[in-house]
Each structure stands twice: as structure tokens, then as C-alpha cells.
Chain A
Amino acid sequence: MTTAVSLHGVRKDFGNLTALSDVTLEIEDNEFFTLLGPSGCGKTTLLRMIAGFEGATAGTIRLFGDEIEHLPPNKRPVNTVFQNYALFPHMNVAENIGFSLRMLGWTKTEIQTRVNEMVEMVQLGALVDRKPSQISGGQQQRVALARAMAPRPKVLLLDEPLSALDLKLRQEMRSELKRLQRETGITFIFVTHDQEEALSMSDRIAVMSDGELQQIGTPFEIYEHPNNRFIADFIGETNMMAATVDTVDGLQVVCHLEGGQNLNALANCQIMVGATGILSLRPERLSISKTGSTSEVLKGELGDRVYLGTDTQFIVNLSGGLKLKVRMQNSFFQGSDFKTGDTVFVTVADGAARFLVD
């Protein structure tokens, strides 16, 4: 595996404001890599630095081993798909797609061939003569993609490219993007604040907040093994409760909640008996029943319920004033058997509880 982009100690200040502090990460060739974080976390700044629109205050950026910090955007073999596409309004679809090739001095026939190839790849055949104002948002998105991929960049940067599309189109484009990445073998660096997008498309995700990298890992690792409170909270939904450790066996711990309930959990690092932290329980890894079982069980009283179509979400009030969200799939579950005020038992799936040191 070769490294496509390598960032080392990258820092970016805007005046007194630090947008990025000490970012070090390596992105493999042929990888679908996602920078995920809330708005203002520095993910777009990082992308713009790789593209060359912003210079780094400190640190080095390498592209396939070559330092590129001194190169202006038009000398870097990376291309960007911008958030609002920014298709040139005075050029038709074919001219937009072929723009970079003209800049690179390709011959007319070479450009023609490549443009046709790209048009076919993103399925825009009939629209080549249209102006951007004459095609839909989804089609503009495809043109923007084709335009950025036409010069065969080594790395494609995508700055929230799906955020302007409606839900249905967005879901369609996810698999489309994934397909394009697989077929072309180009390294994709994808910026988004949408965790669902990140989880469904990425080979690896880097979660960012406040200009710092929080965790890098596969979607599975990020979701199942969040290594801090921010990630557990930001990725998906979770119940977070203060807890204290009673016994330790490697990373396997037994801790108790404020209501006195004991639970097995997996800690995010080596800890000592008596350590305090946060217990994270994903709602979909919990289930409720009317009778207790032998495994991890918490007793409580059923509160509100929210019907969500595929799922039903229950609130269970535990002793000590704790509230637990539980999500049950509606396909195998008769939610109508449960009524507000019933006494219920919450079962925690094996290995579902995470203990996160503060």
C-alpha cells in the first residue's frame, strides 16, 4: 500500500484563531477516506489546504511522497468537487467537463474522447449541450464530479458534495460515488458533517472536532469503539451515563451507575479500580421485556415512546433518575404490548457497553 496523502503536524491559524492544530494522518492510495465533524471543526480547511487554496501555518503536506506545500492549486494533481458545484455558467456540460483538459493542453480529439468517456461514466449522455442552468441539481452534481475526475487526478477532494441534494438523490449518489471510486481507483477524500454518509461510504473515517483529530478508524471501529465521549455522542445516538469502576480485568471492567446498577463494560484504555467516566450504551443494542433474564439486566419503568417507522423508541426511567433510550425494530416486536408505567427489564447485548474515561 502506498500513501496517497500524508499530513504531518499540520497547523492552520487565521489571525488569533486556530482552525487546525497539529493534524497528523496518512491516507492510503485507493482509499475512500472521510473527514467527519460538525461545522467549524476544520475539516473543510484541511481539504482546502490539500487542494492548495490555503497555506499551512506549520507542518508538511505530502502527495505520494512529494512535498506540495509550495505549489499553487493549478500545479497540484488533485481536483476538488465543490459544495455548490460552481459549474461555469457560460459553458455547456461538455465544455465544463473538458475545461481542465484544455488547460493541460490536450488535443481536440483527446478531449472529445475523454469527455465522452466521462459523460458515459456519470450517465449524462443527452445533456452535453445544455448549460448548467438548464439541468437539475442532481445532474449538476454529476457534471461537477465528471469535471473534477476528467484530468485523472491522483486524489479527488469532495467538499460536502451531497449536502445540496434532497434525501432521495443523496442516498442514490452515495452508492454512485462509491461505485466511481471503486471503478477509477482514485483516492477520495470526502468531507461531510453527515455521519450516516460517512459510515455508509468510507473505508476509513477521521472524526474531527475543534480543529483536532479525535479518532481515525473504519466505520465499524468508529461506531462500535468510540475512544472518547465526543465521538460516542457525535456518531449515532447513545445513552451516556456517569459510572464508577468496581473491578478491572484487562479492558473488561465492572462498573456501577449512579442508581447503583452494576454493568459489565469494555473500557477505552487501561484504568484502575475507582476510576470515573462515562458509560455509553447504544439504544439499538438494548431491548426491553416484561420479565428479567439472567444476563445484563436493568430494571425500570416505561416512559414515553416515539414511533419511528422501522423502529420504536422507548424511554425507560431507571432508579436514581436515569433515563435510558431503547430502540426496538418493529418487524419482530409488538410495541403495543407495552404501556407507559409498566415495569420493564432492559437487556444489554453482549459487549455493547463502553466505558469511556473522561
Chain B
Amino acid sequence: MAAGTGSGSTVSAIFSPVRIWLLLPSWVSIGFFLLLPVLLMLVYSFLTKEFRGGVIWEFSLASYDQFLFDRGLFGDAPAVMKWTYINIFIRSILQATGATILCLLIGFPTAYFIATRPIQSRTMWLFLITVPYWVNLLIRTVSMKFLIRDTGPLNELLLNIGLIDAPLHVINTNFAVQLGLFYSYLPFMVLPIYASVERYNFTFSEVASDLYASKITILWSIILPVVKPGIIAGSILVFVPSLGAFLAPDLLGGAKTFMIGSLVEDQFKGNAGNWPFGAAVSMILLSLVLVVLMFYVRAQQRDQT
């Protein structure tokens, strides 16, 4: 905090009448369009389902029960732990992790490259990164499907140059889903890392080199730790939407790669039509994400003290 402004005046400045009026639109928007829908979902998850969508306003734990336990076809058998949905969660987490790692592997060098260009050309490179994102996500995902299918351009190319003898079976695999997620969210990885690397003081690399560090050591023990906040921010920005994605898993994955996003989508739009269960799954996902974020914030605070 600046020496001139004591903490007392800062606090009173936040609660000055002008401040409150100026901040009101943001507070109302966030409250109404962000918090309220989540609260609504929380309430819905504890209601009773109406067939073909909708809810009956009657308190029920059935959705959470359905998530965790199997009570037989007619719901009267003794409760047995059910792995179906938990497995979908685990699979989703693995898929999102895979996508995040892919984004990191490609995104870091890309961001580093852009951040080390002459200052005039950086804007151009950043713009190029975002160009594909002017095209609708659905269109891009479908294009990816055409690209990687057994008779698609990728396989044709690899076959023609003799790198492979038989078409690589990529479509409808976990890897295809990760590839789709990677393509969907790469800029969310590149941009925060770029911002970090751009602020990185390259004298650190010179100092490390002067102190007998090799190039690889400089990357591992100096550059990566210093730009870590950007890497973590990028990873969160990729991981969280990947976890709830449904387009890429639907279009590229097929039946075996069913993810949380598709499960939820199915409850609201698809055949299942079970709103409370969809809401409950969403709430479980949200709690998971919040727990992860809380650990991250804790770690950040520890780092700074």
C-alpha cells in the first residue's frame, strides 16, 4: 500500500456513497446473473423430478442418492455403492487433465515464443492465436472430427508419406476428446502464460547462466518457477471448462468417453429429462472445483509469506 494513503482512508473510500453507486451495476449483474442461477440449481438439486423435465416443489435427496447408490430397478433393494457416475467423474477429471497437459506442452513454448518476439510483432502473434476462435466452437469441433477420422486428411497424409501402414484410429478415443478440448481452450493457456513471460526479467536467465546453470536448469529452476502464476492461471482456465465440456466428448469421443458435461446436458435437454439430478451433478462438480481452487488460493498465500 502506498505510504501516503493510510488504511483508514482506503476503507472509507470503498464505502463512500459515490463508490457504492458506481459499483452497483457490477454487483447487481454478478448477483443476478451469476450467483442467483447457481443458487437456483442448488435448490433444484434438492427437489423432486417431474417426468419430461421440470420439477415438483417437494424436498428430496433422491438426486444425490441416485448419484451415489444403486437401489435396484424399482428402488426397493438395499443401497449398494454405485460407480457409474463416479467413474464418469473420474474419467472427466482424467480427460480434463490430459487436455490441460496438452495445452501446457504446446501453450508454454508458444507463449514463450510470442513473449520473446520484438515488441511490435507480439500483437500480431497474439491476434493469430485468437483467429480460429472467431469461428463457432461447434464448427471447429466438427472440423476436428473430419480431420482425424480414419479416412481423414491426417491419416491420408501419414499414409502417403509412409510414416504409417494402416490408418491411425484416433476418432472415438480418449485422445480424440483431449485433442478436441486442447483445440478448444489453447488460448486460455497461452494468454496468461504470455502475460507472465512478458514480465519475466531475462537478466535472471543471464545471472543463472553466469552462476553455472545449464539451459535446461535455467528453464526448470528459474523461468518456470518465476512464471508459475501464469502457468497455474492458464491451467485452471483450461481445466475447469474442460471438466464440464460436452461438445468435444459428444462429437469426438463416442459412447465410451461419456463425460460430466454430457451427463448434465442429457438431464436437461436429452432423453433422461431429470432436472434435479442434472442440478445435483452440477453442484457436485462445482464443489469439486471449489475445493481445488481453495487449495490453490491457500498455496498462493503460503508462497507470498
Contacts and interface: CB of A to CB of B under 8 A. Distances in A.
Nearest to B201: A86
Contacts of B225: 90
B222 interface: yes
Interface residues of A, number: 23
B226 A73 contact: no
A89 B226 contact: yes
A103 B212 contact: yes
A139 to B, nearest CB: 17
Contacts of B203: 82, 84, 86
A103 B226 contact: no
Contacts of B204: 86, 88
Contacts of B210: 51-53, 73-74, 78-80, 148
Contacts of A268: none
Contacts of A75: 212
Contact of A74 (B201, B214, B228): B214
Size range of the chain B interface in the assembly? 10 to 19
Interface in B201-225: 201, 203-204, 206-214, 217, 222, 225
A234 interface: no
Given A86-B201, A88-B222, A90-B226, A103 B207 contact: no
B246 to A, nearest CB: 39
Interface string B190-204: 000000000001011
A104 interface: yes
A103 B222 CA distance: 12
Contacts of B212: 74-75, 100, 103-104, 151
Interface in B158-216: 201, 203-204, 206-214
A147 interface: yes
B3 to A, nearest CB: 15
A292 to B, nearest CB: 59
Nearest to B207: A86
Contacts of A99: 208, 211, 213
Given A88-B222, A90-B225, A90-B226, A80 B214 contact: no
A53 B28 CA distance: 56
Contacts of B209: 52-53, 72-74
B225 to A, nearest CB: 4
Interface of B: 201, 203-204, 206-214, 217, 222, 225-226, 228
Interface of A: 51-53, 72-75, 78-80, 82, 84, 86, 88-90, 99-100, 103-104, 147-148, 151
Given A53-B210, A88-B207, A90-B226, 17 more contacts: A52-B210, A53-B209, A72-B209, A79-B210, A82-B203, A84-B203, A86-B201, A88-B204, A90-B225, A99-B208, A103-B213, A103-B214, A103-B217, A104-B212, A148-B210, A151-B211, A151-B212
